[in-house]
Structure 1
Amino acid sequence: MSLIHVSNLTFAYDGSYDNIFENVSFQIDTNWKLGFTGRNGRGKTTFLNLLLGKYEYSGFISADVCFEYFPFQVQDKEKQTLDIVEDIAPDYLLWELMRELSLLKVSDEVLYRPFNSLSNGEQTKVMLAALFLKENNFLLIDEPTNHLDMEARTIVSNYLNGKSGFILVSHDRAFLDNCVDHILSINKTNIEIQKGNFSAWWENKQRQDHFEVEENEKLRKDIKRLSEAAKRTSEWSHEVEKTKNGTRNSGSKVDKGYIGHKAEKMMKRSKSMEQRQQSAIEEKSRLLKNVESSDSLKISQLDYHKTQLCELEKISIYYGEKQVCREVSFIIEKGDRIALAGQNGSGKSSIIKLINGEDISYTGTFRKGSQLKISYVSQDTSHLQGDLSDYAQTHGIDESLFKAILRKLDFSREQFGKNIADFSGGQKKKVLVAKSLCERAHLLIWDEPLNFIDVISRMQIEELLLDYEPTILFVEHDQEFCRKIATKLVKL
């Protein structure tokens, strides 16, 4: 066992006025299976890069281990997979590699194929197997689930559960729960570590948030009471001070010394109350420091004039001579929330493209309602660029609603002035989801909408879909999301 010490870490990107990290201190045991969580843009990948020594920073990071980053950057994907493994782990032993691939349920024949002929899931598993062959290294595993279907996620999660000595960045709750024993969380104002899996951390966080909100409400009432009392006392002291000169028509003499003493006492009391009020305000400012904004979102879906929106009857889809799915049949009715499931390559995205009106070669019968308006979220975010105002105008959506949704999904106002091309992967997916929620449509079609999106935003989107019950067809490998949202399951 060894420790990674982080002390007074402070970092900001060149040209930025805001620190990503400021005087952060904690330590990590290299035997831990450490889950790493936090909202998009908080600096998870930045912190991994700091461990790897890619940026200059102030403070101190001390470790007796070498860090290895996943995913490994493959320069020549046409090389044989075995050669790629050798690039990652030059001193590997073949029998150890076979053992790791067996645990990941990958056939060893993939080693003798070009790396680019492997599926995304196979590439992920091969790189993980190769990285875990490197003894005495601490692995930084950055979002391995984005190219894994649900079955593959279970396999990889079970694999990682049998390992130790890694930081795992993932937004998949079930995946994290199965394979980590500590959580490292980037909060609004600090970084903290807790023992346990994601669900245990989330329960503790909700409890702490609830406590902070209750304390905040007490302080708010106390500040109001103190403010009113201080105002009354101040008014009394001024009224008493006036009586030092007596009443013009009374003709009586006034004990100015007594009244002045009384006014002074009341003024001191007023000042004391003001100080208590200010103290309460300062205490309030320390609360709610890590309570995440997770306001509910609102949408308004168009009502279709018929119950049935689409029907697929014995649909088989082809790319040239290759058949990607065979005799798929299902109906989309108003109010359905349909999860389209199946292994990678089973034709899920092809079915979505067919329904969305793309030119797809197929056999069978496909019926789509007339005047049906569809809002589509694709997997691809590479086309996103420009500022958010222009993007909203180009797509004919309400800019204020669009930005309000993004604000609720944890976008800062500063983010609105940046080029979308510079957003993180999760922030780009939020742009696509927010656009879709702004569009007036009868049917939502979302193809892996949650890739890179943080856990709290996933929960907000879940709540929205459950509250407003839009008609939606989606592909998503987040097991918890599917369990909560889907009213029907179509498995290819």
Structure 2
Amino acid sequence: MLAINNLSYFIGGRALYENASLHIKPKDKIGLIGQNGKGKSTLLKLINGELTIDGGEISRSKEVSLGFLNQDLLSYQSEDSIVDVAMMAFEEAVDAHKKIEAILKKLETEYSDELIEKLTKLQEKFERLEGYSMQAKAEEILEGIGFKTSDLNRPLKEFSGGWRMRVMLAKLLLEKPSLLMLDEPTNHLDLPSIEWIENYLRTYEGAVIVVSHDRHFLNNTINKIVEVSNAQLTMYEGNYDFYLQEKEMRSEIQKNAFENQQQKIKQTEQFIDRFRAKATKARQVQSRVKALEKMDVIEDVVDENAVVNFKFEFKQKSGRHVIRLENVSKSYGDLEILRSTTANIERGDKIALIGANGKGKSTLLRIIAGTEKIEGKREQGHNVQMGFYAQHQLESLNINNEILDELKQAGSNKSDLELRQILGCFLFGGDDVFKKIKVLSGGEKSRVALARTLIDESNFLLLDEPTNHLDFQSENILIQALQQYTGTFITVSHNRHFIKQTANKIWYIENKQIKEYPGTYDEYLYWQSLQEDKKEEPKPEKIEKKEKPKTERRDKNEDQLKQYQKELNKLENDIEKEEVLISELEAKMAKPDVYGNPDELLKVNTSYQNSKDKLEQLTKEWESLMEMIDELS
């Protein structure tokens, strides 16, 4: 379908790609990953023909059509309605429709057989191009990615960049190119829209290449990972979780091969040095010198899993009550966001505020920050020192500052040595701390802004989409930093992995009220699934008499207990099966014919890891169900 052979591309003297190759087959679903600045977006632009390669070849068959969603589309504006912009995907059908409209208008004053014949042919063409259903298809996709029905006829220019990007995504999906290329498509989507896109891409008939740092999105949509590293493209046959397991195994093999080769080189060099002056060994010495010159050097493994060991210090702890909202209401004209709602943030809370865009998450964050006018009461606790991180923090960085100077100006009064140690935690080591902000990539700027936010000794953080534009390594640093953070924070995020790793409470807005689930994201999802199951259960017939309400409640509790017990029994059976399977796989890995065969060992190890993950999930579900049974008992 599309072949990249020996691709080379240079920026200045730096090779983004050097003799890199990749073959894309029909229906491949590829996740393109790598650290920021390594050339992922550049590769998509090279495939699309926007950039010219320096060497090698990119070839594709004539019938292959390309569709490319990139961040440059944020600036696209139009007077047309968003449904009309999306329908530009049906270029031929739209053109035929315009001609039909013109002929119909002409027929009002001028009738002729020639016009009727033209009209008939155009109508047949319009029907063949599925023109009569194109508006319905456009509306379905636009609503699927988050637009309200009332928004569809609004001009594109009225929407923000993120929403305009969604319209361009809808247009692209309607075009159905044979190779769909998406550059960070989830950055401007909320959770319901991300899940909709996941379902769409899973059944997409063409090939897909996605640049994304959302590991859940990759796990749910792709079947291959291509890693951009060391100017090469490395393929992994599986989703992101498989990539992590496979890469660890490949890295171990490479590390062993590197160490063995280094030992061989050392021994060879010792032989050469020892016998160089002996005429009787001249031929053997010369042979070893040539062998060293011809040797393909194996690279050492670079550990990209940076570990943060950052000690957060506060001048003072906050009081137990950090923020209290009491009977808070907020409206913008006729648009009501919150209505007489109450919520509390306590010291040590790690809150993820989730839900669809347009529900008021950013407004609520500003209310908590005290920058939004409200009806009702907002009360800030004793000794609360607030820090705020959002994507606009990047714009507040002084581009002419060096990284170290930028942190000095954060006002923490830390010494240069202390600041350099902190920057080391955020992957700025050695002379990197003297780089100017203006030469940094988006991900590097995010890390500087995060470091600056986290060192100002705030004991309460507000984080607005903190993982946007972060690569996996930077995201991992942020997660570790927040796991070690002993203060309180609330974050708005659509990144499910980030939420799972950091939050101990879930907030969402429903019916103009702030709702709280007092647990992790996994527990919240399980609880939510149980609520959905309850909604789907058939409603009992209406009972006219209400003589024994206590008995009815007891009967209802007993019915619920029976249902929970049934689910618990099933979970226990599943857990037992998984434990037996894990024992069998452990025994299998100990057999010489398995651990001596890398391919077989990989296969068994993959099954083992999958079973362990499944067992962990089943155990969490069992624990949550037991808590619910205890509450009803």
TM-score by length of 1: 0.79
Verify: 1:361 aligned to 2:379, yes or no.
Answer: no
Change (3 A) 1:216 1:440: farther
Q: Secondary structure at the residue paired with 2:491?
A: strand
Show structure 1 runs of 5+ residues with no match: 238-262
Residue 405 to residue 181, structure 1, CA distance change in 2 (3 Å): farther
Q: Which amino acid aligns with 1:180?
A: I
Tell me which residue corresponds to 1:255. Answer: none
Matched position secondary structure for 2:175: coil
1:150 to 191, 194, 198: 191
Paired with 1:79 and 1:390, the residues of 2 have a C-alpha distance of 47
Look up the match of 2:69: 70
1:110-155, Cα deviation, whole Å (9 max, x unpaired): 4422124457776444333321232544222111111111122111
Matches within 5 A, 1:119-134: 123-134=164-175
Does the alignment pair 1:317 with 2:359? no
Q: Deviations over 1:226-267 (max 9, x none)?
A: 69x969x97xx9xxxxxxxxxxxxxxxxxxxxxxxxx96999
Cα deviation, residue 450, structure 1? 0.2
Aligned partners of 2:214 and 2:495 also within 8 Å = yes
In 2, the alpha carbon distance for the partners of 1:349 and 1:109 equals 22
Tell me the alpha carbon deviations over residues 196-237 of structure 1, each in whole angstroms, 9 at most, x when there is no partner: 2111112212222344456666778x589969x969x97xx9
Equivalent residue for 2:460, pick from 426, 430, 443: 443
* Superposition deviation, residue 334 in structure 1: 2.3
- Equivalent residue, structure 1, for 2:36: 40
In structure 1, the residue matched to 2:137 is 99
Instruction: Report the Cα distance in structure 2 between the residues aligned to 1:160 and 1:85, rounded to whole angstroms.
Output: 18
Letter in 1 for 2:46: L
Provide the rounded CA distance (Å) in 1 between the counterparts of 2:427 and 2:10. Answer: 20
Q: How far apart, CA to CA, are the structure 2 residues paired with 1:141 and 1:337? A: 32
Single out whichever of 371-380 and 461-470 deviates more from structure 2.
Answer: 461-470
Tell me the residue number matched to 2:113: none
- Matched residue, 1:306: 319
Alignment partner, residue 391 of structure 1: 406
Equivalences for 1:230-379 in 2 at 5 Å?
Answer: 286-288=299-301, 291-302=303-314, 303-319=316-332, 322-358=335-371, 360-379=372-391
1:309 offset after TM fit, Å? 2.0
Shift of 1:420: 3.0
Call closer, same or farther: CA 1:326–1:379 in 2, change over 3 Å: farther
Q: Secondary structure at the match of 1:112?
A: coil
Judged with a 3 Å threshold, the aligned counterparts in structure 2 of structure 1 residues 207 and 461 are, in CA distance, closer, same or farther, namely farther
The one-letter amino acid of 1:473's match is I
Deviations 1:54-96 (A, max 9, x none): 2222221112234222144663344212332244542353514
The correspondence for 1:139, drawn from 159, 166, 180, is: 180
Change (3 A) 1:415 1:191: farther
SS at match of 1:459: helix
Structure 2 counterpart of 1:196: 238
Query: Of 45, 48, 60, which residue of structure 1 is paired with 2:57?
Result: 60
- Equivalents in 2 of 1:345, 1:107: separation in Å? 10
1:207 and 2:203 correspond: no
Q: Which amino acid aligns with 1:95?
A: S
Question: Aligned residue for 1:252?
Answer: none
Match of 1:49 among 45, 48, 57: 45
Deviates more, 1:291-300 or 1:17-26: 291-300
Contact 2:326–2:340 under 8 Å retained in 1: yes
Q: Which moved more, 1:159-168 or 1:319-328?
A: 319-328
Q: 1:454 aligns with which of 471, 479, 482?
A: 471
How many residue pairs are counted as aligned between the two chains? Answer: 454
Counterparts in 2 of 1:30 and 1:291: CA distance versus 1, 3 Å: farther
Q: Classify the secondary structure of the residue corresponding to 1:329.
A: strand
Offset of residue 287 of structure 1: 2.4
Bigger helix fraction = 2
Q: In the alignment, is residue 173 of structure 1 matched against residue 215 of structure 2?
A: yes
Tell me how far 1:337 sits from its aligned partner: 0.8
Distance (whole Å) between structure 1 residues aligned to residue 253 and residue 324 of structure 2: 50
State the alpha-carbon separation in 2 of the partners of residues 453 and 70 from structure 1.
Answer: 19
| Structural mapping, 1:80-95, within 5 Å | 80-92=81-93, 93=131, 95=133
In structure 2, the CA distance between the partners of 1:149 and 1:23, relative to structure 1 (3 Å rule), is same
The answer to whether the Cα contact below 8 Å between 1:41 and 1:427 also exists between their aligned partners in 2 is no
Within-5 A mapping of 1:457-476: 457-476=474-493
Match of 2:2 in 1: 4
Q: Answer whether contact 2:29 2:223 (CA < 8 A) is retained.
A: yes
CA gap 1:284/1:298 in 2 versus in 1, 3 angstroms: farther
**Greater RCO between the two (CA within 8 Å, min separation 6)?**
1
Measure the CA separation in 1 of the matches of 2:230 and 2:327.
51
> Paired residue for 1:241?
none
Report the Cα distance in structure 2 between the residues aligned to 1:210 and 1:476, rounded to whole angstroms. 34
Worse-matched range after superposition: 430-439 or 395-404: 395-404
Q: Which runs of 5+ in 2 are unaligned?
A: 94-130, 510-633
**Shift of residue 471, structure 1, vs aligned partner:** 2.1
Q: Write the distance in 2 (CA, Å) between the matches of 1:91 and 1:17.
A: 45
User: What letter matches 2:13 in structure 1?
Assistant: Y
Distance 1:219 1:154, change over 3 A: same
Kindly indicate whether the alpha-carbon contact (under 8 Å) linking 1:37 and 1:185 is maintained by their aligned counterparts in 2. yes
Which stretch shifts more, 183-192 or 118-127?
Answer: 118-127
Q: Residues 8 and 284 (structure 1 numbering): CA distance in 2 closer, same or farther, change over 3 Å? A: closer
Give the drift of 1:6: 1.1
In structure 2, do the counterparts of structure 1 residues 217 and 489 end up closer, same or farther at CA, with 3 Å as the change threshold?
Answer: farther
Amino acid paired to 1:393: K
Post-superposition Cα deviations, 1:15-56, rounded to whole Å, max 9, x if no partner, equal: x22111112112111421221111111111111111122222
Tell me, yes or no, if the aligned pair for 1:375 and 1:443 is still in contact at 8 Å: yes
Q: Distance between the aligned counterparts of 2:81 and 2:173, measured in 1?
A: 20
Deviates more, 1:151-160 or 1:403-412: 403-412
The residue type paired with residue 144 of structure 1 is: P
TM-score with structure 2 length normalisation?
Answer: 0.63
Separation (CA, whole Å) in 1 of partners of 2:419 and 2:57: 41
Tell me how far 1:325 sits from its aligned partner: 2.6
Q: Do the aligned partners of residues 83 and 479 (structure 1) sit closer, same or farther apart at CA in structure 2, a change above 3 Å counting?
A: same
- Give the deviation of 1:194 after TM superposition: 2.0
RMSD value over aligned CA atoms? 3.7
Amino acid of the residue matched to residue 490 of structure 1? W
The answer to whether the 8 A contact 1:293-1:410 is kept is no
The whole-number CA distance in structure 1 between the counterparts of 2:426 and 2:170 is 35
Distance 1:386 1:67, change over 3 A: farther
Return the match for 2:203 from 158, 162, 165: 162
SS at match of 1:466: helix
Amino acid at match of 1:17: G
Secondary structure of the 1:435 match is: helix
Q: Decide whether aligned partners of structure 1 residues 460 and 76 sit closer, same or farther in structure 2, where only a CA change above 3 A counts.
A: closer
Q: Hey, what's the Cα distance between the residues in 1 that align with 2:387 and 2:297?
A: 43
